[in-house]
Amino acid sequence: MPGVPSGRRCEACRKQKKKRRFKFTEPSKYESDSSTPPKTQKTCVKAELSRSRSPSSLCSAPSNELSVVAQSFLETIKPSTGHRYNLVWTYGGFLEYVPSRIGTNAALDASVAALTEVHSNICNGTRATTSTLAKYSKALSSLRTTLNDPVVACASETLAAVMILSICQGFLDGARDCSLSHTRGMAQIIKARGTFQDPHDPFENQLLLTVRGPVVMEALWNSDIDFAESEWQDLVSNHLQNSDAAPVGNFMSCLARVPLFIRRGMAWCRDPMLLQDVTAAFETIHLARVEWRDRFANVQQELLDGKAGTHSLLQAQFVLCRLYAFCLAISIIIGCVLGGVSPDYPGLEEDADACAIEILRLAQIATRYRPLGGSVITICLGVAWIGTHNVALRAALESSWKDYMRDLSVVGDIESSISDLEMLEKKWRLVHICS
């Protein structure tokens, strides 16, 4: 499943031998709560469309084929496409800027074509068609060619193409063997180009706002991703986050420290500063949990009271439910590391159980936003399973997890996925390192 490592690379990544081998995000603000999937559009875009690079506009003079791709893609991100199927709401505001860049990067063009086909399959409730798999394969080939070109290998458009392909492969049975190699590729591109963010480039900033979560999560089990502490903090910092969204930056900052905690634990578990640092992160994430819990509770109460503006409240519920669940998952992860460093640290087991119970409750609420809107919850349920040793609670989490995985057509992979989770638990708890 997405969020669980497979240990194997995709064909594109295996063939790309240069150093530059190169999917929980905060959505932008749409105003639609329609749950109706978009209709596929096959009409060409008029030539008079704006040539600006503003969101949801097209690049100048696209070919007829690219015009169809762009128009079809616009249907997946337009405001009238509701939360259950809207790609921007689930995968980030950078997608709003993609249409204006179609025709400028071959890898991006091919990845958008593949994603549009995948999205159509999701909306129709069908498995990937031959056409979908062919377009995904073509996108991999195009990416491989682009990565061989030093001029565009580290371009923002190329990074966006890799991110889009990582979205695709989460819904493609045949592509899941390389489930996290795309994320590893994103990390390598970021490492090569640096974490500098141009405040005047909204596409780049929205893109980095999206990719930081998957990259940090990948690093929790993939030691190939080796960033310095300053690089991690630069990656998770983003000037687009205003003061109202600051808690998101706080818990992302905590999460970004975990890969280094694990490295330090592998080197010397009894490092007294390690215990101090992990404890500080655990206390910080606990405060963030309280804030997100209160925010979510306020929205839930307003919905129960039937206050005016129900539409806006449902939007807030959609956003806060996912952010709160992700914050709880981060708390569980840090708690696992803290327990590995200090097995006698009081209250960790009870705290993890409380977080897992809350994630299970949020999963029930988030059902209304599936299939796309519940993707983050799937990962949180897996983390919650790792965090608890309560047999009954684990059984309930596994049942909910399996139900959510039906959205990804991977129910048959549950046993191997649980085996992967067991390996992750050992790594996060520093088992065989601190004993």
Q: Which of these ranges, 72-76, 123-127, 374-378, 431-435, has the smallest mean pLDDT?
A: 431-435
* DSSP line for 290-344: HHHHHHHHHHHHHHHTT-S-HHHHHHHHHHHHHHHHHHHHHHHHHHHHHHHH-TT
Tell me which of 27 and 97 has the higher pLDDT. 97
Give pLDDT, residue 32.
44
Position 11 confidence tier, pLDDT thresholds 50, 70, 90: very low
Tell me which of 8 and 312 has the higher pLDDT. 312
Q: What is the pLDDT of residues 351-388, one digit of tens each?
A: 999 999 999 999 999 999 999 888 899 999 999 999 99
Encoded tokens for 395: 């059984």
Closest CA to 45 of 29, 63, 27: 63
Q: What is the pLDDT of residues 238-281, one digit of tens each?
A: 666 544 444 565 788 899 999 999 988 877 656 778 999 999 99
Question: Does 19 score more than 70 pLDDT?
Answer: no
Question: Does 340 score more than 80 pLDDT?
Answer: yes
Give pLDDT, residue 238.
66
Position 290 confidence tier, pLDDT thresholds 50, 70, 90: very high
Closest CA to 260 of 337, 342, 182, 340: 337
Give pLDDT, residue 1.
39
Closest CA to 226 of 236, 215, 234, 237: 215
How far is 393 from 387, CA to CA, in rounded Å?
10
Question: Does 402 score more than 90 pLDDT?
Answer: no
Position 50 confidence tier, pLDDT thresholds 50, 70, 90: very low
Q: What is the pLDDT of residues 134-155, one digit of tens each?
A: 999 999 999 999 999 998 999 9
How far is 14 from 373, CA to CA, in rounded Å?
32
Give pLDDT, residue 309.
63
Is residue 111 helix, strand or coil?
A: helix
How far is 370 from 367, CA to CA, in rounded Å?
5
User: Between the CA atoms of 360, 364, 368 and 370, what dihedral angle is there, to the nearest 10 degrees?
Assistant: 40
Q: How many residues does the chain have?
A: 435
Give pLDDT, residue 303.
87
Closest CA to 297 of 382, 358, 372: 358
Q: What is the pLDDT of residues 161-186, one digit of tens each?
A: 999 999 998 888 654 454 447 989 99
Give pLDDT, residue 186.
94
Mean pLDDT, the chain, as a whole number?
81
Question: Does 44 score more than 60 pLDDT?
Answer: no
Give pLDDT, residue 34.
46
How far is 406 from 396, CA to CA, in rounded Å?
16
Place of tokens 């086909």: 117
pTM: 0.82
Position 42 confidence tier, pLDDT thresholds 50, 70, 90: very low
Burial 348-367 (b: 16+ CB within 10 A, else e): beebbbbbbbbbbebbebbe
Position 8 confidence tier, pLDDT thresholds 50, 70, 90: very low
